[in-house]
Structure 1
Amino acid sequence: MLVRDVMKSPVLTVGPEVTLEDAYKLLLEKGIRHLPVVAEGRLVGIITDRDIRLATSHLNPKGPCPGCTRVEEVMTREVVTAHPLDPVEEAARVMRERKIGCLPVLEDEALVGIVTGIDLLDALLRLTGVTEPSGRLEVRLPDRVGELARLTGFLAGRGVNIHSLLSYPEEGEFVRAVVRVNTLETHPLAEALRREGFDVLWPPKKPW
């Protein structure tokens, strides 16, 4: 799954000359938290609802117009961006490392979309298959060649279709595989896997 598959487009933007008051009203009206700032068709910054709240909290409330500060005075100018063909997991890694809530998406320097943390959560739901009726299996496998194929081959041999499969390494030279399958009757399937020597973590063994 790529950024282009989850990004929002077209993107709501503001110009650098817009006041903080008007920008904040726009954020509230549209129910969003981030506004890319565009001048002459080029991305020049980004401003968030938090930026506006922090900026106005430091202004003198008795001043002539605390909300009349221009966006360009507060916006972040060094914007971290993504490309439409970036994998969603790479976008998630960048956002986590930079501790930011969105990535404007640029293609040939043109703003073509924006991806947020919520968009990446939606992508995770789609990747794991939980948006469709399915059962869940979680199996710990030795981290060696052929183990994942042995698991998928066992499921195929029982006529079980795999909707999604995610795996990640564990300590101690193991890999954990999370599989979504086309049946809700996962307990009998789990017991059959255990009889074949698989270390099934979910669903747990029934007490009887």
Structure 2
Amino acid sequence: MLVRDVMRRPVLTVDERATLRSAYQVMQDHHIRHLPVTRAGKLVGIVTDRDIRLAVSPLAEGGPRHLEAAVGSIMSQPVLSADPLDPVEEAARLMRRRKIGALPVLEGEELVGIVTGIDLLDALVILTGVEKPSGRLEVRLPDRPGELGRLTQFLGREGINIHSLLTYPDDPKTVRAVLRVGTPMTHQVAEMLRIEGFNVIWPPQKKG
């Protein structure tokens, strides 16, 4: 999945000369928290509702700004951005590393979208297939070639459709495979996998 698949467009922007009051009103009216800031139509910064609240607070460094102050006086710059063809996980990694809540999306110098933390959560929901009627399996596999294929081939032979499949490192020698499968009867599937020798983490084995 790419950034272009989850970014929001068209993008609301604010000119750097706009007042803090007007920028905050735009955010309130459109229920957003981030506004790219432009100069002559080009991206030069970004401002958030939190930036404005802090700027006008009595606790602001150097004293509170007036609501008629220009957005350009408090915007974050230079602004980090994403490309429409960036993988969503790369955008998520950048946002996490830099502790920011949104990335404007640039195609060349043209602002074509914005991706936020909520958009990345939406991407996670889509990638995991959780909104489809399905069941969840989690299996610990040895981290070596062929193990994931062995799991998917077994499910295929049993006529079990896989809606989504994600893997992540568990420890230096194993990985966990998290699957959404086309049946709610995951306890039965899990027992079949255990009989086949797979280490099933979820659903847990029934007692008794």
Question: What TM-score, normalized by structure 1, do the two folds share?
Answer: 0.96
Q: CA deviation at 1:60?
A: 6.0
- Cα distance in structure 2, aligned partners of 1:121 and 1:37: 25
Note if 1:104 corresponds to 2:98.
no
Q: CA deviation at 1:89?
A: 0.2
Partner of 1:167: 167
Give the secondary structure class of the aligned counterpart of 2:190.
helix
Give the secondary structure class of the aligned counterpart of 1:9.
coil
- Cα distance in structure 2, aligned partners of 1:175 and 1:197: 16
Indicate the percent of aligned positions where both proteins have the same amino acid: 64
Residue pair 1:60, 1:66 contacting (<8 A) in 2 also: no
Q: CA deviation at 1:26?
A: 1.0
Residue pair 1:169, 1:176 contacting (<8 A) in 2 also: yes
- Cα distance in structure 2, aligned partners of 1:2 and 1:117: 14
- Cα distance in structure 1, aligned partners of 2:17 and 2:172: 56
One-letter amino acid matched to 2:175? V
Partner of 1:13: 13
Q: CA deviation at 1:10?
A: 0.4
- Cα distance in structure 1, aligned partners of 2:133 and 2:14: 41
Partner of 1:53: 53
- Cα distance in structure 1, aligned partners of 2:102 and 2:172: 35
Runs of 4+ in 1 over 2 A off after TM superposition: 58-61
RMSD, aligned α-carbons: 1.2
- Cα distance in structure 2, aligned partners of 1:160 and 1:170: 25
Unmatched tracts of structure 2, length 5 or more: none
Give the secondary structure class of the aligned counterpart of 1:94.
helix
- Cα distance in structure 2, aligned partners of 1:60 and 1:155: 64
Partner of 2:80: 80
Partner of 2:37: 37
Partner of 1:22: 22
Deviations 1:50-101 (A, max 9, x none): 110111113767xxx8201100101012100000000000000000000000
Question: What TM-score, normalized by structure 2, do the two folds share?
Answer: 0.96
Give the secondary structure class of the aligned counterpart of 1:67.
coil
Aligned positions, number? 205
Partner of 1:140: 140
